[in-house]
Amino acid sequence: MLRRILVSLSSWLVLSSALCGAAFAAAPGVEIHHARSPATPPGSKVAAVYLEVTAVQPDRLLGASTPVAARVEIHTTSEVDGVMRMRPIESAQVTPDEPLKLEPGGMHLMLMELEEPLRMHAQFPLTLHFQHAGEVRVEVQVVAPGGGHAHH
């Protein structure tokens, strides 16, 4: 009886942390907010993911992985001669004073070689790799396309 209560309690905790998009149990010190990805048109092989990371101690985002794409890159966006260009970077710093904001027109995660288009209102798991916090799993919500970000 007690065992059954413990099991249902722990599955409830897992469910509730997935629902609010933050991974408290898995990653002391790091919280992920607003993980989202614009829906992609048919045939698209790339997609951007935006989110915010807050940390109670300095950490470094080293990369990410997801079952919906062959690999994930960290990109920065910069304007060169009036054209927005994206460039892969190795890692991204997050400090208690300065949350890491991955947002349209700036730094973002790029899903490469998508398995299939991302449909609006769907969601998919994404595992973020941090230098200190380790692996943090979040659910990414697929939202309306757009957001001022030109893709490759």
Residues in the site for Cu ion, rule: CB under 5 A? 75, 86, 110
Closer to Cu ion by CB, 36 or 75: give it.
75
Per the listing, tokens 């990369």 go with 63
Of 50 and 124, which has the nearer Cβ to Cu ion?
A: 50
Residue 88 or 96: the one with the smaller Cβ distance to Cu ion is 88
Residue that the structure tokens 């998009």 belong to: 21
Q: Which of 40, 35, 38 lies closest to 144 in space, CA to CA?
A: 38
Residue 88 CB, nearest approach to Cu ion (Å): 8
Q: Minimal distance in Å, beta carbon 108 to Cu ion?
A: 6
Contact 73, 109 (CB under 8 A): yes
Name the residue type at position 105.
Answer: G
Question: Token pair 């609010």 is at which residue?
Answer: 20
Min. distance of Cβ 132 from Cu ion in angstroms?
A: 25
Nearer to Cu ion, 1 or 41 (CB): 41
The answer to whether the Cα torsion of 33, 39, 43, 48 is positive or negative is: negative
Closest CA to 27 of 130, 141, 140, 139: 130
Q: How far is the CB of 13 from Cu ion (least distance, A)?
A: 34
